[in-house]
């Protein structure tokens, strides 16, 4: 019995819920939103799909107690209107800092002991607070972090080289925000170092890094929200937990060296974070990671 809870049914949470039901990933799905009418609306819209699907999902709305035996909780609460078109993800902090305390306490009261995957922004800060306030281990709680940003890098490189983005490997590291960066030393195209290809093809890696960033804002400026890519990231991570896949990918993971969460390679399995996948970085990349970590720690210090 695969049971998943989704807390926060905005564009992202609703897309995740729809995918879980239509792909038959969850046998039971708990839907929770701060607005009861929204949760009921999503419940009935999903119920109306069931007679046309090849699978069945039991849908449970607005019931925190039902999360007690869930395998996974995905948190996607937030206020997307708080993010300006030229701003960053810290725009949602004021709203989410209030929500995280209430939601974490309710999760804790259920006795939930599964894996919590956070999407809510600013992702690294909110993931840290959720872990602290729920009392779950740092292995059980992680965020989508730079998993999405890495996909955007793969898209940008793939477009530049006319390659399937799945043939691009490597990592975007750091804050899921303005201080993130592509660790180009880790990037390969069909196994070949990107630096060699960039040199041969006259590609500007700094420009590619900016194209990856701009892609997200192009989506946001046109739709005033993003949903498909981040929902797909969350689903892939949830599947890795359910199947104990030992998926190697970047997430917002707790690093002992920084004493907080940050986008970095990890391995995902049934218990959440199986291991931190330490990689070799250039001196410049390490310095950029350190700088990004300082931004996160500064924000976290204001809550202690």
179 in a known ligand binding site: no
Query: Rounded to an integer, what distance in angstroms lies between the CA atom of residue 217 and that of residue 134?
Result: 32
CB 301 within 8 A of CB 268: no
120 in a known ligand binding site: yes
Catalytic residue among 95, 176, 246, 260: 176
Whether 246 sits among the annotated catalytic residues: the reply is no
CB 119 within 8 A of CB 146: no
272 in a known ligand binding site: no
DSSP string, 51-117: GGSSS--EEEES-GGGGTT-SEEEE----GGGS-TTS-GGGGHHHHHHHHHHHHHHHHHHT--SEEE
Query: Rounded to an integer, what distance in angstroms lies between the CA atom of residue 252 and that of residue 260?
Result: 9
Q: Which DSSP category does 204 fall into?
A: -
96 in a known ligand binding site: yes
145 in a known ligand binding site: no
33 in a known ligand binding site: yes
118 in a known ligand binding site: no
Residues in the chain: 304
73 in a known ligand binding site: no
Beta-bridged to residue 266, according to DSSP, are 249, 276
SS3 220: helix
10 in a known ligand binding site: yes
Burial (CB count within 10 angstroms: exposed 0-12, middle 13-18, buried 19+), residue 158: middle
CB 42 within 8 A of CB 112: no
Burial (CB count within 10 angstroms: exposed 0-12, middle 13-18, buried 19+), residue 302: exposed
> Which active-site residues does the annotation give?
176
Q: Which residues contribute to the annotated binding site for NAD(+)?
A: 8-13, 33, 96, 119-121
Q: Which residues contribute to the annotated binding site?
A: 8-13, 33, 96, 119-121
């Amino acid at each position: 019995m695969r049971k998943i809870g989704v807390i926060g049914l905005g564009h992202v949470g609703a897309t995740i819920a729809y995918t879980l039901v239509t792909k038959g990933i969850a046998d039971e799905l708990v839907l929770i939103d701060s607005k009861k009418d929204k949760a009921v609306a999503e419940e009935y819209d999903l119920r109306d799909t069931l007679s046309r699907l090849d699978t069945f999902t039991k849908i449970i709305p607005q019931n925190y107690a039902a999360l007690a035996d869930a395998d996974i909780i995905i948190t996607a609460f937030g206020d997307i209107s708080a993010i300006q078109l030229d701003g960053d993800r810290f725009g949602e902090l004021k709203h989410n800092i209030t929500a995280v305390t209430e939601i974490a306490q309710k999760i804790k009261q259920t006795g939930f002991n599964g894996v919590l995957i956070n999407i809510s922004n600013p992702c690294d800060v909110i993931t840290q607070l959720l872990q602290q306030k729920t009392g779950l281990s740092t292995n059980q709680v992680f965020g989508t972090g730079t998993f999405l940003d890495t996909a955007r890098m793969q898209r940008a490189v793939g477009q530049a080289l006319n390659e399937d983005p799945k043939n691009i490997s490597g990592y975007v590291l750091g804050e899921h925000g303005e201080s993130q960066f592509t660790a180009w030393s880790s990037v390969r195209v069909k196994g070949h170092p990107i630096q060699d290809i960039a040199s041969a093809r006259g590609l500007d890696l700094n420009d590619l890094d900016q194209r990856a960033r701009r892609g997200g804002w192009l989506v946001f400026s046109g739709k005033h929200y993003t949903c498909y890519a981040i929902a797909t990231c969350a689903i892939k991570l949830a599947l890795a937990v359910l199947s104990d896949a030992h998926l190697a990918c970047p997430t917002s993971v707790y690093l002992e060296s920084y004493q907080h969460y940050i986008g970095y390679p990890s391995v995902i399995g049934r218990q959440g974070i199986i291991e931190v996948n330490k990689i070799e970085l250039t001196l410049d990349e390490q310095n950029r990671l350190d700088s990004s970590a300082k931004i996160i720690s500064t924000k976290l210090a204001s809550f202690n």
